[in-house]
A and B are shown apart, each in its own frame.
Chain A
Amino acid sequence: MVVISQLKPIRLLLSPSLCVNINMALAVAKPRKNHTKRSVEEEAPLYGDVLESVLSKLHLIHLLPACHVSKSWHRAVSSTLRFSSNRVKPWLVVHTQTTRFPYVVSSRAYDPASNVWLDVEHPPVKSVSTLRSSHSTLLYMLSPSKFAFSLDALHLEWSSTNTPPLVWRTDPIVAAVGHLIVVAGGGCDYEDDPLAVEMYDVRNGKWDRCESMPAIFKDSSASTWLSVAADERRMYVTEKCSAVTYSFDPESKKWFGPYDLCQDMAVFSSVIGFLNGCLVLAGVVGEAEAVKGIKLWDVKMSDDESLELGKMIGDMPETMVAKLKGESGCEPLISMSCIGGQVCFQNASDPSELILCELENGGCRWSSVRNDVVNDRTRLQKMVVTWANVGLPELQKAVQVGALKLN
């Protein structure tokens, strides 16, 4: 007698059926007897684990039709997305704006999970002024008479405030903190207070005045000299050259700091962002004309909300640094965008290569992607990079409104 041990349990098999109309939990195990008598027309059903394994091979965008095949397929799609977290990654969106009237904005998105670039056809954006982004998920345009912003993932929807900020600003820092949009500094010289801070409440459409920016930012309150990060509670501002940092609390409308985040004397420029809910600082090492590298640090926040530099969590590989610097020979202007555990480094002087970093298991995984948008025409245009959390609902909506095309 053959002893069967360690044999894999017989798989639950549903007898072949044309109709997947049965609750999978009630599937009954049936050994496959009389296989040769099975009708040629009958098709082996695709369901359960098998269906999920097949679906897990599809890119997010191709899962859309699969959602609607039947209720069980819909469940299988949800399940496969829930359990294959490495397949759904945030998208990078590169926006360009032409420098001549009508200042058309075009967008192209990159999905790191499938390594695919897609055009995003959003409704024409009525140009207000130069397209900008202070931190990773907000796009805005500001002119003396208008302030327009976009907060949704793929920036398909734009809103504008009824009235512009009270203070005339050329290049303030702008951040979305929860339902508030903070506009700080960048005021014109003849304004009484170039360091003025205002807040726009998205819910009620009202502007509010707050405590002005700290005096230390007097000569550098423009977005060129400052790096901004924000979470749901606060906005953080770092002076790039000194790494001196302040935080702004919209609730009390007050500034807190200064916090000195300079530790490594070799760092000449610092930018900040939020990774996995924690503040991080990226320091550019070397000199403006001779960038040697980029390092990433954790920023520790104590109970009283004061900040200090923590341990180093990443060091950009030399090959990536070279790619980022590019071949233009111009002084690199490095900016950083973050979402979740993903970082994107971009060089405004030569945006042909985007350097990505993914935080995983306490370490960094570096990669680079050729910026598909860069060509001779776009090289002279304004380019802004944002991150977008694109899940099935965002994708559905985008395809429905014609912003994304399945091809």
Chain B
Amino acid sequence: MSTEEDTVQEKKTISLKTSDDEVFELEENVAMEFGTVKAFFGDDGVPRDMMMPIPNVHSKELTRIIDFCTKHLDLKPKAELDEAGKKELRKFYKEYMKEDTTERIMELILAADYLNVNDFLDLLNQTVADRISNKSVEYVRKLFGIESDYTPEEEEALREQYAWAFEGVDEDPAED
């Protein structure tokens, strides 16, 4: 079943169907930011009006990814023009993920990775990296719910040898 392409308007759209059976119609230039979509339609004439299923992505994540790509596509050419544009792009990167919990970021990473949205993936990875940068071992474990897979003896030896890595610079991982 394919949706009808809107042949009346100039802008072409691409249809994507998410894991929760929602159909999104995106502008072609935004959709082509997704490496997976670009590869799917390719050069050898897979018709653009064909709906592409993306069973590994939920509508919640797709909405956010589309939001990022749309804004990013708008800011990127401006950044290449002048310093003010560059500043605006930098600010965008800095602020975009501020309110998101680490859990949310992880979900977005999986979706962005599946869809091959490199610019967003880069930002997401950097955001997680910044959040674990220079945090203690315990903080990181708590943040991701990781249980140490060292034996009690190994764990004790580690704590003794690398005491500094287990202490200090901790803030409460106040994640929702």
Contacts and interface: CB of A to CB of B under 8 A. Distances in A.
Given A6-B40, A20-B146, A69 B133 contact: no
Interface in A10-29: 10-11, 13, 18-21
B56 A53 contact: no
B110 A50 contact: yes
Given A57-B126, A58-B133, A400-B164, A2 B53 contact: yes
Nearest to B126: A57
B84 interface: no
Given A68-B166, A71-B149, A406-B134, 14 more contacts: A6-B40, A7-B40, A31-B19, A35-B20, A43-B103, A50-B109, A50-B113, A54-B128, A55-B129, A57-B128, A65-B165, A68-B165, A72-B149, A400-B162
Given A7-B36, A8-B116, A66 B149 contact: no
B41 to A, nearest CB: 8
Contacts of A64: 162, 165
Interface string A47-59: 0011001111111
- Of B39, B55, B140, which is in contact with the most chain A CB atoms at under 10 Å from its CB? B140
B144 A46 contact: yes
A29 B61 CA distance: 20
Contacts of B162: 64, 68, 396, 400
A126 to B, nearest CB: 27
A18 B144 CA distance: 8
The size bracket of the interface on B is 35 or more
B140 A20 contact: no
Given A32-B55, A50-B109, A70 B148 contact: yes
How big is the A interface, by class? Answer: 35 or more
Contacts of B42: 6
B53 A4 contact: yes
Contacts of B36: 7-8
A241 interface: no
B39 A6 contact: yes
B106 interface: yes
A51 to B, nearest CB: 9
Contact of A65 (B109, B135, B144): B135
B73 interface: no
Contacts of A406: 134, 164, 169
B114 A8 contact: yes
A35 B22 CA distance: 13
B150 A11 contact: no
Nearest to B167: A65
A69 B137 contact: yes
Interface string B123-136: 00110111011111
